Amino acid sequence: MENKHHNHIDSLYMRESLLDKKVMAIGEGSSTFKMLPYVHIVKIGASSFIDKGREATYPVVDKMREILKKEKLVISTGGGARSKHLFSVALDLGMPTGVLAQLAGEDALGNAHILGTLLSPEGVIAIPPESIGHLLPLFLQAAPGVIYAGMPPYSIWEHPSKKGNIPSHRTDSGAIILAETFGFKTVTLVKDVDGLYDKDPKEFKDAKFIDKINVNELEKMNLKTLPFNRVVIDILRNNKSCTHFQVVNGNNPDLIEDSINGKHVGSIIHNDLYEG
């Protein structure tokens, strides 16, 4: 009898170079499975809130408590002022970009644990990046949310920066890549400004608010300051599941809930696949 289960496996990529453009394009346009399509990721800017202490942070945390009663959340944060100080010390000592990225992970983890302490009554704790990946679906079945120390685990594998030595993949990027991989429903970056402006609104009174923009247009504008990591532009352009994110002002914590509910209350940055 013919053995139908012989050892030969017909595989698309066998004997092909993964560096051949024709081979690389295979799979383009095919659907991607969404692991956690009911989960929202909310990134709370550390410079905007945690660094300013209780007065700025508690109202945002109280709002998170309220939202956690209804929605499943991944809450992420950054290193804020401590990372900025670290960068200046480490650069003075001649540390390479990869080392800066490695060390900054600890600042974000510290802030994640601060949020984790405040949200402990809700069963929401900080999970270090090494275990959050494959365990995320389990955590979110067990608890209303988890806190992710926002630095992606690039560490000493951080890309060389196009300008200067500051790591390009920081906490905003971490949130957006995670949203793409897990197929989250919404991505909200919570800052202390209303959203995106054509120049820094804290310095220029005539700065114009941008309520919605395509990422390609945003790149063309070549703005000097952005309220998020610049590399987010390159990441979002190639995203398939996570086609947009919203920057909102957390000084009005209600806007965080509005953003999760799909309301346009800040600046929406989107790619070509966005339907909205």
Partner 1 sequence: MGMPTGVLGLLGTFVSIQNAKMIHYLLADHGIPYIEPGGFSQLPLYLKERNAAIFFGMPPYTYWQRNPEIGKIPPYRTDTGCYLISETYGTKNMIYIKDEKGLYTNDPKKDKNAKFIPKITAGELMERDLDDVVVERSVIEMMTSAKNGRQIQIINGMEKGNLTKALNGEHVGTIITSN
> Using CB under 8 A, which of 37, 123, 128, 160 touches partner 1?
160
Minimum distance from CB of 167 to partner 1 (Å)? 11
> Using CB under 8 A, which of 71, 158, 172, 257 touches partner 1?
158
Q: Please, what is the angle between helix 97-118 and helix 54-68, to 10°?
A: 70
Q: Applying CB under 8 A, does 59 fall inside the site for partner 1?
A: no
Q: Applying CB under 8 A, does 78 fall inside the site for partner 1?
A: no
Binders of partner 1 in range 121-150 (CB under 8 A): 130, 133-134
> Using CB under 8 A, which of 142, 156, 221, 273 touches partner 1?
156
- For β-strands 267-270 and 244-249, DSSP reports them as antiparallel
Q: Applying CB under 8 A, does 93 fall inside the site for partner 1?
A: no
Please report where in the chains the tokens 């949203």 appear, as a residue: 179
The CA distance from 189 to 187, in Å, is: 7
The CA distance from 111 to 167, in Å, is: 19
**Residue 267, strand partner residues:** 247
- For β-strands 209-210 and 196-197, DSSP reports them as antiparallel
- For β-strands 72-77 and 145-149, DSSP reports them as parallel
Nearest to 135 by CA among 35, 64, 235, 241: 35
Distance of CA 214 to the CA centre of its chain: 18
Q: Applying CB under 8 A, does 161 fall inside the site for partner 1?
A: yes
Minimum distance from CB of 220 to partner 1 (Å)? 17
Q: Is 107 in contact with 80 (CB distance < 8 Å)?
A: yes
Binders of partner 1 in range 180-219 (CB under 8 A): 180-183
Minimum distance from CB of 174 to partner 1 (Å)? 6
Nearest to 202 by CA among 224, 171, 176: 224
Choose one: 29-37, 79-87, 220-228, 248-256; the region binding partner 1 (CB under 8 A).
29-37
Minimum distance from CB of 185 to partner 1 (Å)? 15
Q: Is 18 in contact with 166 (CB distance < 8 Å)?
A: no
Nearest-10 Cα torsion for 248, 251, 253, 256? 10
Choose one: 40-48, 153-161, 195-203, 250-258; the region binding partner 1 (CB under 8 A).
153-161
> Using CB under 8 A, which of 80, 145, 152, 266 touches partner 1?
152
Minimum distance from CB of 105 to partner 1 (Å)? 12
Q: Applying CB under 8 A, does 153 fall inside the site for partner 1?
A: yes
> Using CB under 8 A, which of 86, 99, 125, 207 touches partner 1?
99
Question: Contact residues for partner 1 (CB under 8 A)?
Answer: 17-22, 24-28, 30-33, 35, 96-99, 130, 133-134, 152-162, 165, 169, 174, 177-178, 180-183, 234-235, 238-241
